[in-house]
């Protein structure tokens, strides 16, 4: 297979949703159809006791939530599929935002009973900024759901994107009969007692009397709704979808394997192959000969038995080969990648080559950080992956003096993963951890104890915002540092950070020191 053919057959996408919409369950069923796993796990299903493949961390299995992005690759119908299952919980949204920089398209999962939820809106905003193509999968039709037209109106209004149903549900909840696949013109009947996939019944003519034989009196309602939607929604044009202006919509029930295969079969046909990546210097096209890639995630202890640390790299261009040398742009040093890996959640295998769109793992001893650019030699910088100013702050203290080295190592590695942000007070030298949500503190505490054999305790601190600062006037900066010394800290890169007590104090400080720039993300 030629280089261009390898690129054309790749589909790299993220699955995102509000918590509990069924995102990880959908991921499992996609893996099942791809032959990547034999038994699908479910996050909260009582019928299936197996844990979800993508929730490989012990705390994920205990809580029934995803707290870290997992990468899974498999072959399907001649296509190479790379799925990135992201955390749904808002406390881990930074991991999701970073992941969205590494995908070429997105599937948004929406609970049919709850409709569009706040976290879904935030994720859609990120997709819109990057013009990432989006497909919507409305899940849990086996339960009572909102009216279908109401759901679609809500999606268009709150996600600010036009929709086009490519399948249509026949009732919901106890009366759910199945879906009509508009794209392939076929009827798929639902049976809660049958989880294997049955071939759809072809219906080129929806007005055929044979439709009544399958769904009885619901046939008349289906015809009426299909006629209505054809008049209301625009015809599906792939170009509109690829430009991020139109979201195809599918319906089903991931828990019961229903509607998932139809989603996957349509997705591989319409979803984009690897798209150009934007560097600060220029646009990088996937079909360029020279290898380029960037680190969008780092995970420590992905294999607890080996205490391994893996950097996740999105290949943007070129044919990557094992043992090839590449340049780490941030340091200017050349590194040879001898053991690149492909992922299936926590499982990984050594690979000899990779192509644009692929996600590869690079064993790392601390040389790489999130946002690093790797190239065959060209000096380019892929646009940064910012860290946002945390919203919650705690002092972190050692709860076991005999394990101080383990604690220090654990904190350093978890911060390098992007789990949270570490600041050190210039005034008293105490370490401060900043997070987006309370759950992150619990995850840090749990992982330190179970992965590093170290215990910590968190102590409260009154803090409103961490602000990265810069100023061209050295005298003004010196005066600021002197007057605000009790509120100054440094981040793990040695950059100065002003720790504001309250919104009022921050506003007063900004008004007083107008020459100083206050930044609320780490990229400036």
442 has a pLDDT exceeding 50: yes
SS3 439: helix
CB 159 within 8 A of CB 247: yes
| 216: in domain | no
The answer to the question of residue 505 being in a domain is yes
| Total domains present in the chain | 3
State residue 305's pLDDT score. Answer: 59
Q: What is the pLDDT of residue 36?
A: 56
Residues 363 and 485 in one domain: no
Lowest average pLDDT, out of 145-149, 196-200, 210-214, 360-364, goes to 196-200
Residue 55 has pLDDT above 90, yes or no: no
Domain membership flag for residue 30: yes
Q: What is the mean pLDDT of the chain?
A: 85
pLDDT above 90 coverage of the chain, percent: 51
Residue 365 maps to a domain? yes
Residue 74 shares a structural domain with residue 132? yes
pLDDT band at 199 (very low <50, low <70, confident <90, very high): low
Is the per-residue pLDDT at 287 higher than 70? yes
**Is 143 within a domain?**
yes
Q: Are residues 33 and 159 in the same domain?
A: yes
Is pLDDT above 50 for 54?
no
For 101-132, the pLDDT digits (tens) are 889 999 999 999 999 988 788 888 888 888 89
Residue 140 lies in a domain: yes
User: What is the structure's pLDDT at 307?
Assistant: 58
pLDDT digits (tens, 9 = 90+) for 242-280: 999 999 999 999 998 888 888 999 999 999 999 999 999
CA distances (Å), 130 to each of 21, 278, 353, in order? 24, 10, 28
Asked whether residue 317 falls in the same domain as residue 428, the answer is no
Q: What is the mean pLDDT of residues 461-470?
A: 91
The span from the CA of 155 to the CA of 136, in Å, is 9
Whether 72 and 118 share a structural domain: yes
**CATH number, position 407:** 3.30.70.3280
Which stretch of DSSP H or E encloses residue 489?
A: strand 488-491
For residue 124, being part of any structural domain is answered with yes
Q: 341-344 and 347-350 as β-strands: parallel, antiparallel, unpaired?
A: antiparallel
371 and 331 in contact (C-beta within 8 Å)?
A: no
398 and 476 share one domain: yes
Question: Which residues span the domain enclosing 459?
Answer: 392-519
Q: Residue 28 in 3-state DSSP?
A: helix
252 and 292 fall within a common domain: no
- Structural contact between residues 292 and 277, judged by C-beta atoms closer than 8 angstroms: yes
Mention every residue, 6+ apart, whose C-beta is less than 8 A from residue 305. Answer: none
User: pTM of this prediction?
Assistant: 0.79
Q: What is the pLDDT of residues 150-175, one digit of tens each?
A: 999 999 999 999 999 999 999 999 88
Q: Enter the tokens of residue 326.
A: 């590449």
- Which of 49-58, 106-115, 328-337 is the least confident region? 49-58
C-beta of residue 407 within 8 angstroms of C-beta of residue 454: yes
> Per the domain annotation, does 224 fall within a domain?
no
Same domain, 47 and 137: yes
Residue ending a domain, among 211, 242, 270, is 270
Boundary of a domain, candidates 348, 375, 402: 375
pLDDT tens digits, 499-514:
999 999 999 999 999 9
Residue 69 confidence class, pLDDT cut points 50, 70, 90 = low
| Gyration radius of the chain over CA positions | 25
- Whether 354 and 241 map to the same domain: the answer is no
Residue 18: phi and psi, rounded to 5, are -70, 155
Considering the domain architecture, whether residues 309 and 438 belong to the same structural domain is answered as no
**In CATH, what number is assigned to the domain containing residue 242?**
3.40.50.300
pLDDT at 502: 92
pLDDT (0 to 100) of residue 500:
92
Query: Residue 65: is its pLDDT beyond 70?
Result: no
């Amino acid at each position: 297979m030629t280089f261009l053919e390898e690129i054309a057959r790749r589909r790299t996408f993220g699955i995102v949703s509000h918590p509990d919409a069924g995102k990880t369950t959908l991921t499992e069923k996609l893996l099942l159809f791809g032959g990547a796993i034999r038994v699908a796990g479910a996050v909260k299903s009582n019928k299936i006791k197996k844990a979800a493949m993508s929730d490989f961390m012990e705390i994920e299995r205990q809580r029934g939530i995803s707290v870290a992005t997992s990468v899974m690759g498999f072959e399907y119908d001649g296509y190479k599929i790379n799925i990135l299952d992201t955390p749904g919980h808002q406390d881990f949204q930074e991991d999701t935002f970073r992941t969205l920089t590494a995908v070429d398209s997105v599937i948004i999962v929406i609970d049919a009973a709850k409709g569009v939820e706040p976290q879904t809106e935030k994720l859609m905003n990120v997709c819109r900024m990057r013009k990432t193509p989006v497909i919507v999968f409305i899940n849990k039709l086996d339960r009572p759901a909102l009216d279908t037209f109401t759901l679609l109106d809500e999606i268009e209004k709150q996600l600010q994107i036009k929709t086009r149903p490519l399948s249509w549900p026949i009732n919901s909840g106890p009366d759910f009969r199945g879906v009509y696949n508009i794209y392939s013109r076929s009827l798929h009947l639902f049976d809660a007692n049958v989880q294997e996939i049955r071939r759809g019944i072809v219906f080129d003519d929806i007005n055929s009397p044979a439709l009544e034989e399958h769904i009885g009196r619901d046939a008349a309602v289906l015809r009426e709704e299909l006629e209505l939607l054809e008049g209301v929604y625009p015809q599906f044009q792939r170009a509109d979808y690829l430009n991020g202006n139109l979201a195809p919509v599918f319906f089903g029930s991931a828990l019961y394997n229903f509607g998932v295969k139809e989603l996957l079969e349509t997705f591989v046909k319409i979803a984009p192959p690897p798209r150009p990546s934007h560097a600060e210097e220029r646009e990088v096209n996937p079909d360029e000969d020279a290898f380029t890639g960037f680190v969008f995630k780092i995970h420590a202890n992905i294999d607890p038995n080996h205490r391994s640390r893996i950097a996740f790299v999105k290949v943007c261009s070129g044919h990557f080969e094992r043992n090839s040398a590449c340049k780490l742009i941030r340091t200017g040093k050349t590194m040879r990648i001898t053991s690149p890996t492909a992922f299936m959640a926590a499982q990984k295998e050594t690979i000899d080559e990779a192509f644009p769109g692929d996600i590869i793992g690079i064993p790392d001893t601390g040389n790489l950080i999130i946002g690093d650019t790797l190239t065959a030699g060209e000096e380019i910088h892929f646009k940064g992956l910012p860290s946002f100013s945390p919203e919650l702050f705690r002092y972190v203290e050692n709860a076991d003096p005999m394990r101080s080295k383990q604690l220090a190592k654990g904190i350093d590695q978890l911060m390098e993963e992007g789990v949270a942000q570490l600041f050190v007070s210039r005034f008293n030298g105490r370490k401060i951890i900043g997070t987006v949500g309370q759950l992150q503190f619990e995850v840090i505490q749990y992982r330190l104890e179970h992965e590093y054999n170290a215990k910590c305790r968190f102590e409260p601190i009154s803090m409103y915002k961490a602000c990265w600062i810069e100023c061209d006037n050295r005298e003004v900066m010196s005066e600021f540092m002197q007057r605000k010394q009790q509120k100054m800290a440094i981040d793990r890169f040695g950059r100065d950070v002003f720790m504001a007590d309250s919104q009022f104090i921050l506003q007063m400080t900004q008004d007083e020191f107008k020459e100083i720039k206050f930044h609320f993300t780490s990229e400036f």
